[in-house]
Amino acid sequence: MSFVFISHPACALHDVGDEHPESPERLDAINDRLIASGLDYSILRAEAAKATRKQLYLAHDKTYVDKLFACTPKEGKVQLDDDTTMMPRSLEAALYAAGANVMAVDMLMQDKAGQAFCAVRPPGHHAERDKAMGFCLFNNIAVAAHWAMHKYKLERIAIVDFDVHHGNGTEDIFFDDERVLFCSSYEYPFYPFNVGPGNAHILNMPLPPGTDGDGFREAVINQWLDKIDAFAPQLILISAGFDGHYEDDMAHFRLVETDYDWITRELKQIANKHCNGKMLSTLEGGYAMSALGRSVTVHIKAMME
């Protein structure tokens, strides 16, 4: 089955200024590298639709969603937390980012695609049920999971988050929902700092600064792979953050492209066994432009093969 790359031009309209690492140029870096690699010619592209309020209400409190609609500035900016800012076009970008994830679920569940990557921003995994945080407005991967459970009645979804930061928002949204197995690897101690121990279906995997591919792979093998396999997911979702790359100075991991290739292939094997290869990956962090483009390219290639 084919692979689909979902995005929307509006995802580049959220622009909080030249000094901010979460910039529209991140999407250009991904597209440029996909074209340079030749991979662009063999993938299906789809343009996202906006998520509806009802779809967002599945993952977020109604009052929170409505507040973001109400506080969009006509000009200037609204500061939601220390590093999360709303500009006039931010809400529009966030609606397409979440909507891309809804579309990806629809295409996978209706057998229109086998795997999907959502090249979207703002990212989502720090956004909690009722709180914007860490560059994130809506939790895109949580919207995808909730949509898959709501519309297609799925009962077992694995979410793997290999961003260098803990997916606190995703944990918050699914902490009491055993239909979701959430696996998050992250540098610790590091932002967002006060991470709890998780529970039987929230598998938090803190790793020290300086963690390289060997340390990362060993931890994934020892702590995750058997548990994901035993969970027998009906769909595998990935919060794909590439800020653990050694060229990325946002944090202090030393991962390289082959590590992202490796984990993607391991997850693909589990997807092949339990869910006909179905995987949905959505962009989270990754701020070193060249490393981001290269890493996304190997990640997509590994999902396709």
Q: What angle do CA 266, 267, 273 make, to 5 degrees?
A: 100
- How far apart CA 89 and CA 80 sit, in angstroms, is 15
Which of 167, 233 has the CB closer to Zn ion?
167
Which of 46, 141 has the CB closer to Zn ion?
141
Name 254's Cβ contacts closer than 8 Å, sequence gap at least 6: 210, 211, 212, 213, 246
The closest residue (CB) to Zn ion is 285
Region near Zn ion per CB under 5 A, out of 73-81, 101-109, 147-155, 280-288: 280-288
8 Å CB contact between 248 and 180: no
Sketch the per residue contact string, 158 through 197, with Zn ion: x for CB under 5 A, - otherwise: -----x-x--------------------------------
As measured in angstroms, the least distance from the Cβ of 284 to Zn ion is: 6
| Site size with Zn ion, rule: CB under 5 A | 5
Which of 99, 134 has the CB closer to Zn ion?
134
Region near Zn ion per CB under 5 A, out of 9-17, 110-118, 273-281, 285-293: 285-293
Which of 181, 250 has the CB closer to Zn ion?
250
8 Å CB contact between 190 and 170: no
Check 126, 165, 245, 274 and give the catalytic one: 126
Q: Provide the angle, in degrees to the nearest 10, between the axes of the packed helices 257-274 and 289-304.
A: 30
8 Å CB contact between 272 and 248: no
C-alpha closest to that of 184 among 164, 157, 209: 164
Which of 8, 245 has the CB closer to Zn ion?
245
Q: Does 241 bind Zn ion (CB under 5 A)?
A: yes
Q: Does 243 bind Zn ion (CB under 5 A)?
A: yes
Region near Zn ion per CB under 5 A, out of 139-147, 214-222, 271-279, 283-291: 283-291
Helices (H), the chain: 25-37, 53-59, 62-71, 90-109, 140-152, 168-174, 213-220, 226-231, 257-274, 289-304
Q: Is 126 a catalytic residue?
A: yes
Q: Does 124 bind Zn ion (CB under 5 A)?
A: no
Q: Phi/psi at 223 (nearest 5 deg)?
A: -110, -20
The pairing of beta strand 235-240 with beta strand 279-283: parallel
Q: Which residues are catalytic?
A: 126
Please give the residue ranges that form the binding site for Zn ion (CB under 5 A): 163, 165, 241, 243, 285
